[in-house]
Structure 1
Amino acid sequence: MKFLRYGEVGQEKPGLLDDDGTIRDLSGVLTGVLTGDLQGEALGKLGDLHDLDLQALPVVGGSPRLGPPVAGTGKFICIGLNYADHAAESGLAVPPEPVIFMKATSAICGPNDPIVIPRGSTKTDWEVELAVVIGKTAKYVSEAEAMDHVAGFCVTNDVSERAFQTERQGQWTKGKSCDNFGQIGPWLVTPDEIADPQQLGMWLTVNGETMQDGSTSTMVYGVAFLIHYLSQFMSLHPGDVISTGTPPGVGLGQKPPRYLKPGDVVELGIGGLGAQRQIVIAD
């Protein structure tokens, strides 16, 4: 199933996308059954909704804004250099263990919300990534057990300010955490709809020009391993998001490097998970 949240910022309601592409409201179903929204322990119970009569759910008319499909994310964990060809274009070696950094949860926004170039930015960049949303607490889990802890998968744009990231000292977090640097969605797709998360095509265009055209099959460390690995260092809780890395084609890797400017249009997607469209604006 494809779960989503729709409405104005801070007032989103839970919904789902039916087989005809119609948004259906879930507010009445979730109230008193789960938590009233797609967050917390509710994420581990999404499978309970598979027997719903979708045609009986209220239709959401018009073209509402889509928010991030998950609310209340506690941790936004990112994996760096997880595609060998992206590491090469960045001039860096493939790491012997996953590179982990955090992206501030305040960066999270809807899939079609604008990319906001922060003040002082000169190198705002794009990164299409597969995001994994945790549905059940994971601590010291084995790789074989890891996928049992997944609520679903999403598209995310790990927007990055490269000068902040690499030229301003310290860790990468400051170049990854600016407002509207974490578009997630359009929906949360449950694992039963994704036969193999390691066989998903992914793409990104800027002003209609293809910049990234890759596949999750070329990840260095796959989804199950990443959940297992992270759970050795910290508990993963329902609603936590793991952004699993990007294939080559980012602005930093262009020759010469190319970065976003106000008025640019970024579109991106992953097979089976939907697409995003963002207009670039200045803060």
Structure 2
Amino acid sequence: MYLATISSENGAVPVAVDQARGVAAVRDVIPGAPHTTMGVIEQVASDEFVSAVRSAPDSVFRPLDGARFEAPYRHPHKIWGIGLNYVEHAADLTESVPDEPASFMKGDHTIIGAEEPIPIPAQSERVTAEAELGLVMGRHCYGVDEGSALEHVWGVCTVLDQTTEDILARNPRFLTRSKNFPGFFSFGPAIVPLSEVGPLADLEVSTLLNGEVHRKNRVALMRYSPEFLVAFHSQVMPFFPGDLLSTGTPGAAHIRAGDRAGCVIPGVGELSNPVTGA
């Protein structure tokens, strides 16, 4: 069961997906619910969403075939990314895992959804795609401890985070620039309520390149757990409903025009994007 956004004649529509029954407009499941997926996250708790979908009549669902999924939403308050959070990935970059989380921000202009192209910038000769577990915040979160951190998370999603590694290699201070080209943050299409996922530590994240697993690892082997990342960064800044926290990659794949990048997290979903030239 998950929350998503589909294209319709009337624009983007937030939907509830039940794999056994199909897809239903959220407003048919929860009368009076907001008209946007961001609004649903802001106003409908994930447990309320799950309960409503389970109790909804079969008549409001239709077959999933033919549904065109978009990015769940395009304008979160912020996108917060984490670097070097798996020891093995840090070794790929001849880096050590930092003593505190390494983080960066991305603008909402970077957002794309499933099947939208990732464009390779003309000024870069080495772009990588990084599969990650994304956290979708559901409540205002500031100054929380690790034990209560996940109470503020609405759900999780698959993410592809892109980087111009050649630009970053010139100077680590170029991190923000290397992460902020258009199309450099794909997420969705599913936002799975936290209660539907089970322990996050048990999840396995895979970076795919042209349909083949390039690198995979378990969340349990992160240097900093998802709950630690939420708590740590909430001491710096508030998180707002709909904010995205991308928790780090098990491995980055070098992508070129004509390739297809992907992220697979069993129990959460699959995300795939074609790669195009400048």
User: Do the structures match in fold with TM over 0.5?
Assistant: yes
Q: Distance in 1 between matches of 2:171 and 2:263?
A: 28
Counterpart Cα distance in 2 of 1:169 and 1:149? 32
In structure 2, the CA distance between the partners of 1:114 and 1:71, relative to structure 1 (3 Å rule), is closer
2:234 aligned with 1:231, yes or no? yes
- Specify the alignment match of 1:36 in structure 2: 35
Q: How does 1:121-270 map onto structure 2 within 5 Å?
A: 121-167=124-170, 170-248=173-251, 250-251=252-253, 259-270=254-265
Partner of 2:4: 4
Specify whether residues 71 and 42 from structure 1 end up closer, same or farther in structure 2 by C-alpha distance, changes over 3 A only: farther
User: 2: CA distance between counterparts of 1:171 and 1:124?
Assistant: 14
The CA deviation string for residues 19-40 of structure 1, in whole angstroms up to 9 with x for no partner, is: 326222224456733x322215
Structure 2 CA distance for partners of 1:71 and 1:135, relative to 1, 3 Å? farther
Which amino acid in structure 2 is aligned with residue 217 of structure 1?
A: A
1:64 aligned to which of 54, 61, 67:
67
5+ residue gaps, structure 1, are: 252-258
Is the counterpart of residue 276 in structure 1 residue 275 in structure 2?
Answer: no
Q: Are the aligned partners of 1:17 and 1:23 in contact in 2 as well (CA < 8 Å)?
A: yes
Shift of 1:159: 1.2
| TM-score of the two chains, using structure 1 as the length reference | 0.89
Pick closer, same or farther for the CA change 1:266–1:43 going to 2, 3 Å: farther
Q: Could you say what secondary structure the match of 1:157 adopts?
A: strand
Q: Quick check: 1:124–1:161 contact (8 Å CA) kept in 2?
A: yes
Which of residues 118, 121, 131 is equivalent to 2:121? Answer: 118
CA contact (8 A) 2:131 2:262 kept: no
The Cα shift of 1:185 comes to 0.9
Seen in structure 2, the aligned counterparts of structure 1 residues 21 and 70 have a Cα distance that, compared at 3 Å, is farther
Change in CA separation of 1:165 and 1:237 when aligned onto 2, cut-off 3 Å: same
Deviation digits for residues 9-60 of structure 1 (CA, Å, limit 9, x no counterpart)? x932100211326222224456733x32221563552322323415232426
| Distance (whole Å) between structure 2 residues aligned to residue 103 and residue 43 of structure 1 | 25
Matched to 1:72, the amino acid is H
Deviation at 1:247, TM superposition (A): 0.8
SS in 2 for 1:100: strand
Aligned partner of residue 136 in structure 2, secondary structure: strand
Structure with more helix by fraction: 2
Structural RMSD (CA)? 2.2
Counterpart among 92, 95, 106 of residue 109 in structure 2: 106
Is residue 48 from structure 1 mapped to residue 48 from structure 2 by the alignment? yes
Give the match's secondary structure for 2:202: coil
Give yes or no for contact 1:13–1:25 (8 Å, CA) kept in 2.
yes
* Equivalent in the alignment of 2:24: 24
TM-score between the two structures when normalised by the length of structure 2: 0.90
Alignment check: 8 A CA contact 1:138 1:236 kept: yes
- SS of the aligned residue for 1:170 comes to helix
Between the two proteins, the alignment pairs up a number of residues equal to: 274
Superposition deviation, residue 72 in structure 1: 3.1
8 Å Cα contact 1:203-1:213 kept in structure 2: yes
Structure 2 gaps of 5+ residues are: none
Query: Which structure carries more strand by proportion?
Result: 2
Q: Distance in 2 between matches of 1:92 and 1:45?
A: 39
